[in-house]
Structure 1
Amino acid sequence: MADIGTIMNAMRDPAGVPGSPVLFQALMVITWSLHIAFVNLTLGASGLAIFAFHNRGKPHWARLSITLTQVAKVGVSLLIVLGVAPLLFTQVIYDPQWYASNVLSGRWAIAFILTLVVAYCCWFAFYYANREGAKKHIGLYAWIAFALFCLDGLIMHALSYQELLPGQWMHWYAPGGVVDTSGASLHAIQWPRYIFIMSLGLPAVGVFLMAYAHYFEPREDHEPSYREFARALGRRLASRGFTIALVPMLAWQFVQPAASGLAWHPVGWALAAALLAMGIWTARLDATTHGYRPAAASFAVLGLLAVWREIIRAVSLKRFGYEIGNYPVHPDWPTTLLFFATLVGVGGLVGGFYLVLLYRSGRTQGHYTADKNVSLLGSAAIVVLGIWTAVFFIYGIAVWVRNSII
């Protein structure tokens, strides 16, 4: 194991990192929580959209299928965009593991992109055709897309799980002493972990439907009977979904290596307790409960999952002598400040303006007119975006001039 650790440490980027590795670890956990939230929502929404499509003869189901088809379409876009950040942070502090895993399963890493493109095209075809009076055969597009979504989840799971098993890398690379550079195999799959994360799609769409019913309360085109149907369905899916997800979660807990001590780690059991508590709480909700509370609580559960996932990775790799705390640090304060200024200014203010605008306009039936506060927020967003653009170019030109002189 010591030799493996030495090799992994030697594989690190010699340029090091521009700040504390713990900072990138925290950012990775936060951004992964956002990413997996839309992964779960997309899986749940697409699955329920297909079910609703095949039951569209019943009241409200056709309308629900059309709505969730749109939700899943947008969800795919958001999960891709929000997946970039945790991937980049992974490459910063876990670059030896991530690149080794991708090379060992190179064909699958490339196939992930291709299958995701095909899946999205199939889902878009289903979205385009899923209207009142749609032909039954268009459901085939949705089934193909859903199957590929599940396959893509399996690929990402395998690539992530293979990171944790550096002791087997050489065996996978040269089985029986014969080098295999094809990258044609997914070498390690931990089924309880995969099934657990995928099963979270069921409670995800459940809490979404409760928030959806609350969001459209001010609009007359979403009549009370339809909103109550969505809310009641969401409550059932959430309560049963969290309870169902508890089973693979416990299985995942007990397949942890005995030597790691992870099977009895308190964070893992806190996650299991949170799932059980969410299942009981959502089962007891009534129409007076604010529709956004279950969604907020569910995101907190995903945050706990992200922390638990990172603890497993850190403990697993520490056994081989790899710790992110030992990563070489070469501080770069201008870049760090520019990053956080971008995160807070552009991401917070500009992104916040769009979110507020979309939220309020969506709850308004007909023409929407922004009030004074929203207009002021929009003006501030334009100013901040202009300042950020100017600073970006000035800083880049300054570095270029300095390096040219040197």
Structure 2
Amino acid sequence: MEPGALIPAADAIPASPWFFRVLLDATFAVHLIFMNLMFGLALLGFARALRDAPGLDRQAGLAPNLTALAVNLGVAPLLFVQTLYGQFFYVSSTLMAVWWFGVVLAVMGAYALAYRQKYAFHAGRGPGVWTWALMCLLLLYTSLAQTHNAVLLVRPDLWRGYFADPSGTLTAWADPTVIPRWLHFVLASVALGGLALAMIGHGRAKRRDPHGEEIRREGLAWFCWATVLQAGVGSWWLMALPRNMIPAFMGADKAATGLLAAGVALTLAAVVFAFRGRLMAAAGAGALTVLVMTALRGVLRSLYLDPLFDPATLPVTPEPSTTAMFLGCVVLSLAVILWASGMPKVDRKGA
């Protein structure tokens, strides 16, 4: 059976495909940053809890908020990927339904453990090594399941596995990019978690905490070495791609080549800044790298699906009122967030 015969027909969309592609990349980049921060701080929390390192209390305090932000900020890109690639996403999610439902349970469990860890520190119960470990295992599972779904989405040829086992447990282990793709994300989380840790140390150093500078240096070291390893894994991922796609990143496709070059340059800049102790410059370069790599991920998705599907061919049924209402809600939401973030703090001592 030809892979194209397994793909359902696409639904009409209410605006031009490029509009949703821009929104998908922008919102997914923001989601990735918070997801990496949350996952990275959890991984570093476990590693640092083994030696009861200073600053664990602040890591535990940030975990619930970052988890909530990562989950909520993931709703928008999820909707946009369904809009553009719904006929692929729905099928891939259904074929691995058992593992996909497990993601919901794993994230809920990790969220509960994050709160447990936060209040355990408030009660002075110590580093909580086993709680950190279980949280990391749940998040590692979540990231691996997400990776399998991302690969199944662009590999309809793997959907044939359903006919041999229709139990909803299909995986993408047959694809050689699964492991490097997953490790690339895990190492990115460690890197951004290191930056977050460095910022925790920076804040403590400004308050003359004796451990502040030590935490800052440790966070930058985590960022540097995780990024160096990530470069190696990224090269592995590139070499594991189908042979007909690799030339696109070597000059055959201007968008793919340009984005890859920009991503490499920004990564090098971030590492250099971090080695020199320039925390904010490293964080800025790191955030830009995530944005560029998100766009590159979109290009890679298009290369995979090119023989079978192009979002530009989606039928469009213009709904300007719906689109305008959506944009208005986005602007209003941003205004509320900015207003809330600027509210003065309550002075509890004087209350």
TM-score (ref. length: structure 2)? 0.89
Taking the TM superposition and a 5 Å limit, the aligned residue runs for 1:254-265 are 254-260=239-245, 261-264=247-250, 265=256
Residue 298 of structure 2 aligns with an amino acid whose one-letter code is: E
Contact 1:112–1:155, Cα closer than 8 Å, also in 2: yes
Counterpart pick for 1:150 among 136, 140, 153: 140
Of the structure 1 ranges 66-75 and 114-123, higher mean CA displacement relative to structure 2 is found in 114-123
Q: CA deviation at 1:254?
A: 1.0
> Any idea what SS the aligned residue of 1:338 has?
helix
Deviations 1:141-172 (A, max 9, x none): 22111111000000011011111111221x21
Q: Distance in 1 between matches of 2:287 and 2:347?
A: 29
Q: CA deviation at 1:347?
A: 2.4
Closer, same or farther: CA 365–352 of 1 in aligned 2, 3 Å: same
2:44 aligned residue: 48
Q: CA deviation at 1:7?
A: 5.5
1:198 aligned residue: 186
Q: Distance in 1 between matches of 2:118 and 2:172?
A: 35
1:343 and 2:336 matched: no
2:342 aligned residue: 356
Q: CA deviation at 1:294?
A: 2.3
2:20 aligned residue: 24
Contact 1:104–1:183, Cα closer than 8 Å, also in 2: yes
Closer, same or farther: CA 356–216 of 1 in aligned 2, 3 Å: farther
Of the structure 1 ranges 326-335 and 67-76, higher mean CA displacement relative to structure 2 is found in 67-76
Q: CA deviation at 1:281?
A: 2.4
Contact 1:243–1:275, Cα closer than 8 Å, also in 2: no
> Any idea what SS the aligned residue of 1:130 has?
helix
Closer, same or farther: CA 213–135 of 1 in aligned 2, 3 Å: closer
Taking the TM superposition and a 5 Å limit, the aligned residue runs for 1:69-218 are 69-131=60-122, 133-134=124-125, 138-169=128-159, 171-175=160-164, 180-188=165-173, 190-215=178-203
Contact 1:214–1:292, Cα closer than 8 Å, also in 2: no
> Any idea what SS the aligned residue of 1:85 has?
helix
Closer, same or farther: CA 123–350 of 1 in aligned 2, 3 Å: closer
Q: CA deviation at 1:6?
A: 6.3
Stretches of 4+ moved more than 6 A in 1? 364-368
Q: Distance in 1 between matches of 2:29 and 2:328?
A: 22
Q: CA deviation at 1:309?
A: 0.6
Q: Distance in 2 between matches of 1:367 and 1:172?
A: 63
Taking the TM superposition and a 5 Å limit, the aligned residue runs for 1:221-300 are 222-260=207-245, 261-264=247-250, 265-266=256-257, 267-285=259-277, 289=278, 291-300=279-288
Closer, same or farther: CA 313–335 of 1 in aligned 2, 3 Å: same
Residue 296 of structure 1 aligns with an amino acid whose one-letter code is: G
> Any idea what SS the aligned residue of 2:27 has?
helix
Q: Distance in 1 between matches of 2:180 and 2:261?
A: 15
Q: CA deviation at 1:11?
A: 2.0
Q: Distance in 2 between matches of 1:224 and 1:130?
A: 18
Contact 1:249–1:272, Cα closer than 8 Å, also in 2: no
Give the share of equivalent positions with the same residue, in percent.
21
Deviations 1:110-147 (A, max 9, x none): 111112222222332222223575257x4212211111
Residue 12 of structure 1 aligns with an amino acid whose one-letter code is: A
2:253 aligned residue: none
Contact 1:122–1:141, Cα closer than 8 Å, also in 2: yes
Q: CA deviation at 1:354?
A: 2.0
Contact 1:105–1:187, Cα closer than 8 Å, also in 2: no
Deviations 1:175-208 (A, max 9, x none): 3xxxx32112323461101100110122212222
Residue 239 of structure 1 aligns with an amino acid whose one-letter code is: C
Which structure's CA Rg is the greater one?
A: 1
Contact 1:257–1:263, Cα closer than 8 Å, also in 2: no
Q: Which runs of 5+ in 1 are unaligned?
A: 369-406
1:38 and 2:34 matched: yes
Closer, same or farther: CA 7–132 of 1 in aligned 2, 3 Å: closer
TM-score (ref. length: structure 1)? 0.77
Q: Distance in 2 between matches of 1:184 and 1:254?
A: 28
